[in-house]
Structure 1
Amino acid sequence: MVDSSPYDVNFCFPVRELENQRLRLSPFIPSVHAQEYWEATKDCPEIYIYFPFEPMSEDDFARIIETRVQPNPTTLVFAVLDKSSNGVTPPLAGLIGLLNASPDSLSAEIGWLITVPNFQRTHVTTNAIGLLLMWCLDPPALGGLGLRRVQYQSHPENVASRRKAERLGFRFEMVQRYQRVVAKADRWDSAIYSLCWDDWREGRARVMTQMERNQ
Structure 2
Amino acid sequence: MTSLVVISAGLSQPSSTRLLADKLSTAVVSALGTPVEVTVLELRDLAHDITNNLLTGFPPPALSAAVATVTAADALIAVTPIFSASYSGLFKSFFDVLDPDALDGKPVLIAATGGSARHSLALEHAVRPLFSYLRAVVVPTAVYAASEDWASTGDGELAGRVTRAAGQLAALVSGSPSSSTGSKDPFAQVIPFAEMLKAQGR
TM-score clears 0.5 = no
Q: Which has the higher contact order (CA 8 A, sep 6+)?
A: 2
- Normalised by the length of structure 2, the TM-score is 0.34
Select the structure that is richer in strand: 1
Judging by fraction of residues, say which structure has more helix: 2
